[in-house]
Amino acid sequence: MKPMYGIPSSVTAALAAAICLVGLSGCGVDESTSSPANPGPDAPLTTDDDRVSNPTDGGVTEFGLETSFGYDPAADRGLAYFALRDQDGASIWDFKTPGGTPGYGLNGRNFGITLFPSVAPRILDPAAFQVGVSSVLTNKVIALVIDVSGSMADDAGGGEGTRMEVAKEVAAAFVDVILDQANDPDLIALVSFSTEASILSPLTNDATKLKELIDTLEPTDATNFSAGFTEAVKAVGIQPGKRAVVFLTDGVDTIDGQDETFGGVGGLWPAWNEKPRSLRWQAMEKLVDYQLVTYTIGFGDFSGGDEADLRAFANDSAPTSSPPSGLPAGAFFAATTVDALNAAFDPSDPTSIPSRIESEVAGVSSPFVSFPNDYPDQAGPISVRVTVSFENLTGKLSATSAGTFIVP
């Protein structure tokens, strides 16, 4: 791995092999705030530091901040990966364009960071911050999304139990395949969905915790693809690495797929193609925005129509119409039997999901700020609030995001 710009080697090594990641209760979108230009005296900038400013650029009038957090145990420092987007949603600086817009190459003086452990909060000294762009990270960052709708209680065939029971066994085995070493740099988040969706675990390398949560899954209610994909996007967030979604379902969307009389768009792909009010279309646009490669698995006796939706999300030969421009190409797997489902996750098969994530998904780099952990004797979660501020012709701008890192 190439060293980061101006970052100690201990930080670089930790990014490749020893990140203790943790979760965001939303990786930025739900936890962020942004402020419009504020030329008044209350703007959170001083006038005597070396912060970046761009007095010739008035195009950015407001921006949002997204973050994803990690911890470097070797240096006892927190890591905040970040993405900045302007008022139109265009990237100023993020994992897709780490070079950023000219004039916004931020340094430590543009950041305000406050730690909130179980004791009193502490505002950190910006002089101790280190801002850089990571090398391209190739650890896997995966949202594992599992359908827990009522039909997952149906028999899987072959005397193997219910679809839910089989799915749990396969999901647990997948966790063991990906997280196969101590202090594994690979990360998995667990998402379940039926009528609604939940992030059961944020990104983690704790295989035992993930398998315990998988074992608790129980089938109930309807099937809402968009909810599952939306929570998957939140779970992965802007965390750099080989970014992917693995989406296991046994049926067709019964929420957005309802007739318009009942509040849905209705139909299967391409009926909802380019319809802004379609929840499935909105979820697909999020996959584009966050550049997540998607692998969908249709488990059970589903029809060819159901397959059309799943192929569309994976951008895998969707019929008739094309998904939105920029949707990464993944793959659809038809698992009509338990054997076919097992084969889809078999790491010895070069066409399986684990193999394709390894060979097909490109790693990404990300801008980040490294900061000292001022509570070295306290283990467990430490909440962080990050503010980014800069000024341009429009005025002084700022945005805030929050999350958590874990000290083991």
Residue 208 sits in a domain of what CATH number? 3.40.50.410
Instruction: Please give the average per-residue pLDDT across 138-144, as a whole number.
Output: 96
What is the mean pLDDT of the segment spanning 258-284? Answer: 87
In a domain? residue 303: yes
CA distance 305 to 267: 9
Ranking 101-110, 273-282, 311-320, 343-352 by mean pLDDT, the lowest is: 101-110
pLDDT for the residue 38: 29
294 plus 376 within the same structural domain:
no
Residue 95 banded pLDDT, cuts 50, 70, 90: low
Query: What is the residue-wise DSSP string for 336-353?
Result: -SHHHHHHHT-TTSTTSH
Domain count across the chain: 2
- Residue 287 falls inside a structural domain: yes
Q: Are residues 99 and 236 in the same domain?
A: no
Q: Which residues contact 367 (CB under 8 A, 6 or more apart)?
A: 81, 82, 83, 93, 94, 95, 98, 100, 106, 131, 132, 133, 134
Structure tokens at 266: 């209705």
- 2 occurs within a structural domain: no
Residues 189 and 80 in one domain: no
What is the pLDDT, as a whole number, of residue 89?
81
Q: How many residues are listed for the chain in this entry?
A: 408
Distance in angstroms (rounded) separating the CA atoms of residues 180 and 243: 18
Per-residue pLDDT, averaged over 38-45, amounts to: 28
The reported pLDDT for the residue numbered 106 is 77
* β 242-249/293-299 pair status: parallel
Q: How far apart are CA 169 and CA 163, in angstroms?
A: 10
Percent of the chain with pLDDT over 70: 81
Paired with 257 in beta bridges are: none
What is the residue type of 2?
A: K
pLDDT at residue 248 greater than cutoff 80: yes
The dihedral sign for the CA sequence 339, 297, 361, 403 = negative
Q: How far apart are the C-alpha atoms of 22 and 203, rounded to whole Å?
A: 6
- Is the pLDDT at 13 greater than 50? The verdict is no
Q: How confident is the model at residue 6 (pLDDT cuts 50, 70, 90)?
A: very low
Q: Which of 103, 91, 84, 104 is nearest to 32 (CA)?
A: 84
3 lies in some domain: no
**What domain range includes position 34?**
9-136+365-407
pLDDT score recorded for residue 267:
87
Q: Which of 36-40, 125-129, 298-302 has the lowest mean pLDDT?
A: 36-40
Q: Please tell me whether residues 155 and 198 are part of one structural domain.
A: yes
**Residues 330, 182: one domain?**
yes
Same domain for 36 and 129, yes or no, is yes
Same domain, 127 and 172: no
Is 190 part of a structural domain of the chain?
yes
Per-residue confidence (pLDDT) for residue 253, from 0 to 100: 93
318, part of any domain: yes
> What torsion, rounded to 10 degrees, do the Cα atoms 349, 354, 358, 361 define?
120
239-243, 316-320, 343-347: segment of lowest average pLDDT:
316-320
Of 42-46, 217-221, 230-234, 281-285, which gets the smallest average pLDDT?
Answer: 42-46
Select the more confidently predicted residue: 379 or 384: 384
Q: Which residues pair with 385 in a beta bridge?
A: 114, 402
Residues 113 and 155 in one domain: no
- 354 and 373 in a single domain? The answer is no
pLDDT at 184: 81
Q: Are residues 348 and 395 in the same domain?
A: no
What pLDDT sits at residue 25?
A: 29
Confidence category of residue 319, pLDDT binned at 50, 70, 90: low
Tokens representing 284 are 């697909």
The reported pLDDT for the residue numbered 245 is 98
- pLDDT at residue number 31: 44
- Region 188-207: mean pLDDT is 96
Establish if 1 belongs to a structural domain.
no
The answer on pLDDT for 306 being more than 90 is no
Q: Assess whether 56 and 96 both reside in one domain.
A: yes
- Quick one: pLDDT at residue 305? 56
Task: Tell which residue, 301, 296, 295, has the closest CA to residue 336.
Answer: 301
Distance CA 51, CA 69 (A): 23
At 39 the pLDDT is 27
Type and span of the H or E element at 173: helix 163-178
Instruction: Tell me, yes or no, whether 352 and 371 share the same domain.
Output: no
Q: Which among 11, 77, 27 has a CA at the least distance from the CA of 401?
A: 27
pTM of structure: 0.84
Mean pLDDT of the residues in the chain: 82
Please name the residues in contact with 182: beta carbons below 8 A apart, sequence gap of 6 or more.
none
